[in-house]
């Protein structure tokens, strides 16, 4: 069974990411002594101070074969303002099926019917969580019936939100770029954001406090 560390939404928080990688046992080049690999749920950019630096760092890890990442809705929006990096962003997949299909990484949400697909419906689910025109997002975890264990970001949660439906799932966007203004998307509870990662196959999480240097003034 392959071993992964799946990192939540970065939003330009490069210093915080480096702290988390150290907590997870990686060196500055994304190497792990036990051969673990990194994966990212997308939204590498926007909100924090170091979007371009964070994006370049993650893409360097991807290029070295030490990491993989899906694209998030903020990455797609950012590409429109940074056309020079658009090729990289276009190359980021909507979904990652890892560990022989046991682990699924997406940005926002998924349903069993769109696993492995790249059509418009799959893109809507993976990037936006099938959000309606009124801005309503269904609780996809409650009805998830896919076989892989699914890891997503996009929805800010006070602590990683595990659910058992289907093969299981977790949301790991713990609001790193929001500072003290973070708010749980499901409960409305306010909290101070931080960065989280899921360890696979352990299904445990590791976190790091947001470095204040990363927060936009």
Handedness of CA 198, 199, 204, 209 (dihedral sign): negative
CATH no. of 4-214: 3.60.21.10
Three-state SS for 182? Answer: strand
Between residues 216 and 99, the one the model is more confident about = 99
Domain boundaries, given as residue ranges, for the chain: 4-214
pLDDT digits (tens, 9 = 90+) for 39-74: 999 999 999 999 999 999 999 999 999 999 999 999
70's tokens: 């899906």
Handedness of CA 34, 37, 41, 47 (dihedral sign): positive
pLDDT digits (tens, 9 = 90+) for 91-139: 899 999 999 999 999 999 999 999 999 999 999 999 999 766 656 778 9
Q: How far apart are CA 5 and CA 114, in angstroms?
A: 24
């Amino acid at each position: 069974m392959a071993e992964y560390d799946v990192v939540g939404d970065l939003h330009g928080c490069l210093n915080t990411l480096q702290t988390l990688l150290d907590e997870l046992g990686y060196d500055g080049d994304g190497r792990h002594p036990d051969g673990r690999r990194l994966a990212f749920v997308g939204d590498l950019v926007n909100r924090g101070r170091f979007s371009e630096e964070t994006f370049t760092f993650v893409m360097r890890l991807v290029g070295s074969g030490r990491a993989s990442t899906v694209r998030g809705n903020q990455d797609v929006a950012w590409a429109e303002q940074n056309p020079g990096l658009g090729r990289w962003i276009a190359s980021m997949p909507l979904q990652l099926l890892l560990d022989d299909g046991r682990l699924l990484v997406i940005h926002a949400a998924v349903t069993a019917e769109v696993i492995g697909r790249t059509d418009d419906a799959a893109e809507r689910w993976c990037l936006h969580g099938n959000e309606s025109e009124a801005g309503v997002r269904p609780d996809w975890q409650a009805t998830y019936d896919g076989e892989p264990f699914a890891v997503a970001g996009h929805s800010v949660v006070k602590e990683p939100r595990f659910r058992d439906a289907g093969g299981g799932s977790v949301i790991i966007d713990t609001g790193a770029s929001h500072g003290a203004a973070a708010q749980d998307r499901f409960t409305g509870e306010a909290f101070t954001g931080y960065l989280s990662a899921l360890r696979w196959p352990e299904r445990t999480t590791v976190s790091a406090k947001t470095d204040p240097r990363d927060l936009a003034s």
